Amino acid sequence: MGRNFLSCDRERDLEMPRDVRVWLPPEHLCWKVLDTVELLDLSVFEKSYRDDGRGGVAYPPASLIALLLYCYSKGARSSRRIEQACWDDVGCRIITANRRVDHSTVAWFIRRHRAALNSLFVQVLSLCGRRGLVGLSAVAVDGSPREANASRDANQRLQRLEETTR
Protein backbone atom coordinates (compact mmCIF):
# COMPACT_ATOMS: atom_id res chain seq x y z
CA MET A 1 0.00 0.00 0.00
CA GLY A 2 1.39 3.43 -0.97
CA ARG A 3 1.79 6.54 1.14
CA ASN A 4 -1.15 8.87 1.33
CA PHE A 5 0.20 12.35 0.40
CA LEU A 6 -1.67 15.40 -0.81
CA SER A 7 -1.18 16.11 -4.50
CA CYS A 8 1.29 18.92 -5.26
CA ASP A 9 0.76 19.25 -9.00
CA ARG A 10 2.22 22.67 -9.85
CA GLU A 11 1.57 22.14 -13.55
CA ARG A 12 -2.19 22.62 -13.26
CA ASP A 13 -4.05 25.90 -12.84
CA LEU A 14 -4.45 27.04 -9.27
CA GLU A 15 -8.01 27.37 -8.18
CA MET A 16 -7.89 30.80 -6.54
CA PRO A 17 -11.31 32.39 -6.11
CA ARG A 18 -11.87 35.36 -8.41
CA ASP A 19 -13.36 37.35 -5.52
CA VAL A 20 -10.53 38.74 -3.38
CA ARG A 21 -12.90 39.12 -0.43
CA VAL A 22 -12.53 35.40 0.24
CA TRP A 23 -8.72 35.32 0.01
CA LEU A 24 -8.31 36.40 3.64
CA PRO A 25 -10.70 36.32 6.63
CA PRO A 26 -12.61 39.52 7.50
CA GLU A 27 -10.54 40.13 10.66
CA HIS A 28 -7.25 40.28 8.73
CA LEU A 29 -5.18 43.46 9.05
CA CYS A 30 -5.48 44.40 5.37
CA TRP A 31 -9.26 44.77 5.68
CA LYS A 32 -8.89 46.90 8.81
CA VAL A 33 -6.40 49.17 7.03
CA LEU A 34 -8.70 49.53 4.01
CA ASP A 35 -11.65 50.37 6.30
CA THR A 36 -9.55 52.95 8.14
CA VAL A 37 -8.31 54.64 4.96
CA GLU A 38 -11.92 55.03 3.79
CA LEU A 39 -12.57 57.17 6.90
CA LEU A 40 -9.63 59.53 6.29
CA ASP A 41 -9.81 62.86 4.50
CA LEU A 42 -7.55 62.36 1.48
CA SER A 43 -8.60 65.49 -0.40
CA VAL A 44 -5.13 67.06 -0.10
CA PHE A 45 -3.68 64.06 -1.94
CA GLU A 46 -6.35 64.01 -4.64
CA LYS A 47 -6.06 67.76 -5.31
CA SER A 48 -2.43 67.33 -6.33
CA TYR A 49 -3.41 65.29 -9.40
CA ARG A 50 -4.70 66.68 -12.70
CA ASP A 51 -8.44 66.55 -13.19
CA ASP A 52 -8.48 67.13 -16.93
CA GLY A 53 -7.85 63.48 -17.84
CA ARG A 54 -4.48 64.19 -19.43
CA GLY A 55 -1.24 62.51 -18.48
CA GLY A 56 -0.49 58.98 -17.43
CA VAL A 57 -2.76 57.00 -15.18
CA ALA A 58 -1.86 57.00 -11.51
CA TYR A 59 -2.61 54.69 -8.63
CA PRO A 60 -5.40 56.04 -6.46
CA PRO A 61 -3.89 57.79 -3.42
CA ALA A 62 -6.13 55.74 -1.10
CA SER A 63 -4.64 52.54 -2.48
CA LEU A 64 -1.03 53.68 -1.99
CA ILE A 65 -1.77 55.06 1.48
CA ALA A 66 -3.37 51.76 2.49
CA LEU A 67 -0.35 49.92 1.08
CA LEU A 68 2.03 52.12 3.08
CA LEU A 69 0.07 51.78 6.33
CA TYR A 70 -0.23 48.02 5.91
CA CYS A 71 3.44 47.49 5.06
CA TYR A 72 4.69 49.90 7.75
CA SER A 73 2.59 48.09 10.36
CA LYS A 74 4.24 44.83 9.30
CA GLY A 75 7.76 46.30 9.47
CA ALA A 76 8.35 46.80 5.74
CA ARG A 77 9.47 50.42 5.42
CA SER A 78 11.72 50.54 2.37
CA SER A 79 10.19 50.99 -1.06
CA ARG A 80 11.96 47.87 -2.34
CA ARG A 81 10.57 45.73 0.51
CA ILE A 82 7.11 47.15 -0.18
CA GLU A 83 7.49 46.25 -3.87
CA GLN A 84 8.51 42.72 -2.86
CA ALA A 85 5.52 42.50 -0.52
CA CYS A 86 3.26 43.28 -3.49
CA TRP A 87 4.53 39.99 -4.94
CA ASP A 88 4.60 37.89 -1.77
CA ASP A 89 1.95 39.19 0.64
CA VAL A 90 -1.70 38.36 -0.02
CA GLY A 91 -2.78 41.40 2.03
CA CYS A 92 -0.79 43.69 -0.29
CA ARG A 93 -2.28 41.99 -3.32
CA ILE A 94 -5.78 42.66 -1.98
CA ILE A 95 -4.97 46.30 -1.20
CA THR A 96 -3.51 46.93 -4.66
CA ALA A 97 -6.16 44.90 -6.54
CA ASN A 98 -3.46 42.38 -7.46
CA ARG A 99 -1.18 45.01 -9.01
CA ARG A 100 2.52 44.90 -8.28
CA VAL A 101 3.49 48.46 -7.39
CA ASP A 102 7.04 49.34 -8.40
CA HIS A 103 9.47 50.58 -5.73
CA SER A 104 10.08 53.82 -7.62
CA THR A 105 6.34 54.55 -7.59
CA VAL A 106 6.26 54.03 -3.82
CA ALA A 107 9.34 56.23 -3.26
CA TRP A 108 8.01 58.94 -5.57
CA PHE A 109 4.61 58.96 -3.80
CA ILE A 110 6.26 59.30 -0.39
CA ARG A 111 8.57 62.08 -1.60
CA ARG A 112 5.77 63.96 -3.34
CA HIS A 113 3.32 63.74 -0.44
CA ARG A 114 5.62 63.81 2.60
CA ALA A 115 3.82 66.69 4.36
CA ALA A 116 0.37 65.25 3.67
CA LEU A 117 1.48 61.82 4.91
CA ASN A 118 2.73 63.40 8.13
CA SER A 119 -0.66 65.05 8.64
CA LEU A 120 -2.35 61.66 8.30
CA PHE A 121 -0.81 60.70 11.63
CA VAL A 122 -3.08 63.17 13.42
CA GLN A 123 -6.15 61.83 11.60
CA VAL A 124 -5.29 58.22 12.39
CA LEU A 125 -4.53 59.05 16.03
CA SER A 126 -7.83 60.91 16.37
CA LEU A 127 -9.70 57.99 14.82
CA CYS A 128 -8.03 55.52 17.19
CA GLY A 129 -8.88 57.77 20.13
CA ARG A 130 -12.57 57.92 19.15
CA ARG A 131 -12.66 54.14 18.95
CA GLY A 132 -10.96 53.73 22.32
CA LEU A 133 -7.88 52.08 20.85
CA VAL A 134 -5.45 54.56 22.41
CA GLY A 135 -5.53 56.96 25.32
CA LEU A 136 -4.84 60.48 24.13
CA SER A 137 -3.70 61.82 27.49
CA ALA A 138 0.01 61.28 26.85
CA VAL A 139 0.94 61.08 23.19
CA ALA A 140 4.23 62.53 22.04
CA VAL A 141 6.11 62.30 18.78
CA ASP A 142 9.61 63.59 18.40
CA GLY A 143 11.84 62.89 15.46
CA SER A 144 14.53 65.38 16.41
CA PRO A 145 18.03 64.20 15.56
CA ARG A 146 20.39 64.18 18.54
CA GLU A 147 24.06 63.46 18.79
CA ALA A 148 24.76 60.51 21.02
CA ASN A 149 27.56 58.10 21.69
CA ALA A 150 26.17 54.65 20.96
CA SER A 151 29.47 52.85 21.01
CA ARG A 152 29.97 49.68 23.02
CA ASP A 153 32.23 51.63 25.42
CA ALA A 154 29.42 54.10 26.17
CA ASN A 155 27.18 51.35 27.56
CA GLN A 156 27.14 51.02 31.34
CA ARG A 157 25.75 48.56 33.85
CA LEU A 158 22.89 49.55 36.15
CA GLN A 159 25.15 49.76 39.20
CA ARG A 160 27.46 52.27 37.45
CA LEU A 161 24.49 54.37 36.28
CA GLU A 162 23.08 54.47 39.82
CA GLU A 163 26.46 55.61 41.14
CA THR A 164 26.68 58.48 38.63
CA THR A 165 23.14 59.76 39.38
CA ARG A 166 23.81 60.10 43.14
Residue 15 has pLDDT above 80, yes or no: no
Q: How far is CA 95 from CA 23, 54, 155, in A?
A: 12, 26, 43
pLDDT the model gives residue 110: 95
**pTM for the full predicted model:** 0.72
DSSP helix, strand, coil percent of the chain (3-state; round to 5): 50, 0, 50
Over range 68-96, report the average pLDDT.
94
